[in-house]
Copies of this chain bind each other. A is one copy, B any other.
Amino acid sequence: MKLNENFAALGGSYLFGKIAARVRQFAAENPDADVVSLGIGDVTRPLTPAVVCAMHAAVAEMAYEETFRGYGPERGYDFLRRRIAEYYAGRGVSVSPSEIFVGDGAKSDIGNFLDLFGKSRVLMPDPVYPAYFDVNVMSGNKVAFAGGNRRNGFRPLPPSRGDYDIIYICSPNNPTGAVYTKDELKRWVDYARATGAVIFFDAAYECYVRDASLPRSIFEVEGARQCAVEFCSLSKTAGFTGLRCGYTVVPEELAGGRIAEMWERRQATKFNGVSYVVQRAAEAVFTPQGLAENAKNNDYYLRNARAMHGMLESAGVWHTGGENSPYIWMQCPRGITSWEYFDLLLERANVVGTPGAGFGKNGEGYFRLTAFGNDEKTVRAMERLCEVTRAAMRK
């Protein structure tokens, strides 16, 4: 057998595994510490009544010969794809159900979508969600970075030189919480069209955008249908991290329809559709009741984010995100690395966050906080974090 040698070029243990190990050790040594995690991007609010009822009904259907469902369509049931198209239409974005592919989550689709391309030159932001980078290493692609920094507000714009085959954009961004304006996205779309690149647009956090002037889909930008694919997920929209459902929009115009056709064939050959019960749950998310219930859950996280944002503001800590995003990307006190800051916070404030260095070179000196926790615990943890940080900043 011939192993895929690209795997040897992958970095060591995965970021969150490393963090979990350090936290486990600290907790074992300090059993009475009130350790609060602001580290992981996982939701904590339960599924809403509309979703739960829909799932019970779907499970009951599977119990009787008359209503049992076997293999479903690989690209997802019509009932769900129509609802997703309506969800786009509600924001004034025209997407046909035939352009929507239901999958088991944005992470799977973003990774597997590379199957459709040959060896590619790839441009992605730095800092960046580690999986974007790792899937390209596995494929042997050549990766360059568009550097985010304090000057550009971690919203890097297209480079003035060089062209690429594939461009990754995530807005609202993980890890920085930064949200591109429509004009900024337009610059990326124009650049992609001028250079013949395809944009992989990760819209997993679109549900947190409350400022109506900010785009929630790249298809709000003129020309995007000619150059972009959009990946979205119910993980954050409706707390589906444990249920697993997402969707990918492949416009008909992209490469003259070739990409949609290839993705359809890829999914029909290497995937067998999302669980019927989960698709019924997803359908319920997009009903008026489901949308209202889930907006309440997302408001809960956004209140956390806004509180965190306000407290960092008061403490004089530079940061992005916290508005229109569940993520906050803060600058570490001068002179310490993001892993040193991680240790400081864990030991002195009993707060767990994510060192920016884990997201790339440009992440060094920064730190990611998430707003997915319990509200009271979050505020308590942030008070301790601000105190420790202010003290470190004074040094």
Contact = CB atoms under 8 A, between A and B. Distances in A.
Interface in A305-324: none
A71 B59 contact: no
A149 interface: no
Interface string A237-250: 00101111000000
Given A42-B71, A45-B65, A70-B43, A4 B117 contact: yes
A79 interface: no
Contacts of A59: 52, 55-56, 59
Contacts of A60: 52
Contacts of A44: 65, 68, 70
A77 to B, nearest CB: 10
A21 to B, nearest CB: 15
Interface stretch (A107-115, A177-185, A363-371): A107-115
A138 interface: yes
B276 A242 contact: yes
A111 B2 CA distance: 16
Interface centre among A67, A112, A270, A276, by most B CB within 10 Å? Answer: A270
A194 interface: no
Given A116-B7, A117-B1, A273 B244 contact: yes
A134 B7 CA distance: 24
A145 B281 CA distance: 43
Contacts of A70: 42-44, 239, 241-242
A104 B135 CA distance: 20
A108 B271 contact: yes
A278 interface: yes
Nearest to A6: B118
A272 B46 CA distance: 19
A56 B67 CA distance: 17
Interface of A: 1-5, 7, 10, 14, 42-47, 49, 52, 55-56, 59-60, 62-65, 67-72, 104-105, 107-108, 111-112, 115-120, 131, 134-135, 138, 165-166, 196-198, 239, 241-244, 255, 258-259, 262, 265-266, 268-278
